[in-house]
A and B are shown apart, each in its own frame.
Chain A
Amino acid sequence: MKLKKNIAISESGFVFDPNSGESYSLNPIGAEIIELLKLEKKSDEIQTTMLKKYDTDAASFERYYYDFIHILEQYGLVEKDTSQG
């Protein structure tokens, strides 16, 4: 999964999509995940980073992570990256 080009994210987790003009607010975890997506980290790398940092298990993380990614897809903020499946 790749964040679309041009998507602007502020330090406070405010996301602006210049193609649609829509803006969104993220909580700190969401902002952290978006930052990792921006760095073109793959899903398993993001999972490893987050599991190291936060007291959660892989199953819970995956559930919320894919929910979150689904929302990003719905809003057209990410595009499928063929290199990572």
Chain B
Amino acid sequence: MNKIKLTLAATGLNNTDNPGPGIPVIRSIKESGDFDVRVIGLAYETLEPGIYMHDLVDKVYQVPYPSEGSDSLIKRLEFINSVENINVLIPNFDAELYTFIKSSAMLEKMGIHTFLPTLEQLEQRHKVNLPEFGKQYQIDVPQSKPILNHSEILSLHDDFDYPLMVKGKFYDAYIAYNEEQVKMHFNKISAKWGLPIIIQEFVKGTEVNVIALGDGKGNTVGAVPMRKQYITDKGKAWGGITLADENMLALTHRIIKATKWRGGMELELIKTTKNELYVIEINPRIPAWVYLAVGAGQNLPAALVKLALGYPVKPFEKYDIGKMFVRYSWDMIVGLNEFESLSTKGEL
């Protein structure tokens, strides 16, 4: 098969100890062998490591934060597209998805294809709405409640037993054993991610995850379950292993079928000692550990690009069980001129 000529734009180049999925997504697409690809990195900050990985990213443009509104983002993308002629764009941050989904029709007009969930799907699975989601689709979810101020913390013991989880609307989750700890985490998370803060029942068990891709018609294109083997103090997987858990796969297929999920997804689950599965979060994008799925035989980012371009994609039927990933850190030496170029011209 001839390689598909592709100009791919991706965000999430922050390959830090709290990694964005951009670099593993790019690596997966490049290694698939299906594309003759030029990669355009879209960066928010000047020290995102992926900016300087020239073997993976051909050109980098700085883009405005989603908080500046979709108009300034679209304007910047229009300029970038006039130079680069982007075919597919993969946003990799939760916080930017709303803006990109809202702008997807406009992007399409510019010739930039995306493969994202709908706004309704995005909202439905939001941490704040997870209890409703569980009820609607008969899925076990921990009891949770959004709170907006300190006074609500005092009455939490009416609905929750300690310990409980304190979570940000996009990122961050901490366990709290008493009211004081809830207050402390409330302040820390709200300063970073805003309100509401989500209080969630603590479910005891092993944290397991599934990466999946839905075709938007109810079909699961691929799904790989994983258990984190090494977790950083930020709760991120630094090592993991693929599992053979039929229940996890069945749950994933059920959620994708019921929601007609479109795009990448990560299910965060707790498996109790009785083998019950609780959905604690549904992330509406490809997770940073995606390269494990690729290593296990399912190149989901490459499949996502094909779906975005309208190519038919055959669902993956298997993956290697017991395949592991171990993450590592690597120091790159960067010339000041490169840093200067991105800082002053917004391009590298």
Contacts and interface: CB of A to CB of B under 8 A. Distances in A.
B227 interface: yes
A11 B244 CA distance: 21
A62 to B, nearest CB: 29
A18 B321 contact: yes
A38 B142 CA distance: 38
B256 interface: no
Bin the interface of chain A by size.
under 10
Q: What is the interface of chain A mostly: helix, strand, loop, or mixed?
A: loop
Residue of B206, B208, B322 with highest tally of chain A CB at under 10 A: B322
Interface string B230-269: 0000000000011111000000000000000000000000
Contacts of B243: 18-21
B210 to A, nearest CB: 13
A26 B321 CA distance: 21
10 contacts: A16-B322, A18-B243, A18-B244, A18-B321, A18-B322, A19-B245, A21-B208, A21-B226, A21-B229, A21-B242
A6 B243 CA distance: 11
Interface residues of B, number: 12
B111 to A, nearest CB: 43
A16 B229 CA distance: 13
Nearest to B227: A21
Nearest to B229: A21
A78 to B, nearest CB: 16
A8 interface: yes
Contacts of A16: 322
Nearest to A5: B244
Nearest to A21: B227
Nearest to B240: A21
A19 B241 CA distance: 11
B321 A20 contact: no
A19 B244 contact: yes
B322 A8 contact: yes
A18 B227 CA distance: 10
Nearest to A16: B322
A42 B48 CA distance: 59
A5 B241 CA distance: 18
